[in-house]
Structure 1
Amino acid sequence: MNYDEAMEMGKAEFGQMPPQAFLLGLLSAFDNRYQASADSFMKEITWKQFFAIICIKLCKEPPTLNDLADIMGSSHQNVKQILLKLERKGFVSTTTDGKDRRKQRVVLTDQCREFCEKNDAPSQAIIGRIFEGIEESKLITTIETIMAMERNVCKL
């Protein structure tokens, strides 16, 4: 079955299943497709590695491993593996926290910043294509819905 056939089947099945179940499946399938596409776009690193970099950049100060795992919504072990691979590639390094020597903070390297700068315009172009034809009001509703779902998942 190809992608178009799967989407047509999905449209037909949508009326036969609760919209909540359909949405969860759709989000999972989208995540898989997006990850595969992003992995092929960025040759040097994977999408999950790039997502870790994005999350590090969002922090006001270099995050700890636990901080980063919380932000990424992933386990400590998974994030540690991602960071080890990024460290081997020269994209991140760790430094001891100035206030608490037991904590290690994750820092982006110059090599990482150069990579991000080089890939910013192409990444923005791809994001533009993904959201082409989607009204901003629908995006805001989707964001609000997924944030509410996220809050509910955290309560489980």
Structure 2
Amino acid sequence: MNYDEAMNMEQVEFGSMPPQAFLLGLLSAFDNRYQASADAFFEGITWKQFFAIICVNLCKEPPTLNDLSEVMGSSHQNVKQILLKLEKKGFVTLEPDEKDKRKQRILITDQCREFCDKNDEQSRRIISRIFADVEEDDLTVTIRTIMKMERNVSNL
């Protein structure tokens, strides 16, 4: 079975593959395809860089590198590389924490806010297209499933 056949099936058939393995493969393939599409969409910034910005904005206060690594689910080293590139582009600044000078806080710049505002409407349209024909109940079950999987991965 090829990709198009698998994606057009009403009833998913796993053959000899356990559904858990099929789902993990499907999530990995989706991540790769989405990243390639998003990299082509955002001019001058990669999807992983934009994801880091999203995660910084999710934090109640400017996060530290460790905080952001945890939110992104990525290593300290990978997140540091992403931040250095964003800093070079003028999208973030790294400033010492007021209470603990050994820590650095990640701040979003005005240039980054302008970039996000400029791309907001088109981003919403793309997300809407990605989730076309996905029922809210299906989405809720998927979110719950992936959150449980995330918790289980954290406990490995």
TM, length-normalised to structure 1: 0.94
Q: Identity of counterpart residues, as a percentage?
A: 71
Give the corresponding residue for 1:27. Answer: 27
1:91-143 deviations in whole A, cap 9, x for unaligned? Answer: 00011111111110000000000000000100000000000011001000000
CA RMSD of aligned residues (A): 1.6
Which letter does structure 2 place at the counterpart of 1:8? E
Instruction: Give the whole-Å Cα distance in 1 for the aligned partners of 2:29 and 2:79.
Output: 22
Deviation at 1:9, TM superposition (A): 5.7
One-letter amino acid of the counterpart of residue 152, structure 2: N
Note the 1:1-156 alignment, pairs <5 A: 5-8=2-5, 14-156=14-156
For residues 40 and 66 of structure 1, the distance between their equivalents in structure 2, rounded to whole angstroms, comes to 29
Q: How many corresponding residue pairs?
A: 153
Q: Which amino acid in structure 2 is aligned with residue 35 of structure 1?
A: Q
In structure 2, C-alpha distance between the alignment counterparts of 1:19 and 1:131, rounded to whole Å: 22
* 2:93 aligned partner, one-letter code: S
Q: Which secondary structure does the structure 2 equivalent of 1:14 belong to?
A: coil
Compare the two structures and name the one with the higher helix fraction. 1
SS at 2:2 equivalent: helix
| AA at the equivalent of 2:135 | E
Question: Gaps spanning 5+ residues in structure 1: where?
Answer: none
Return structure 1 stretches of 4+ with deviation > 4 angstroms.
9-13
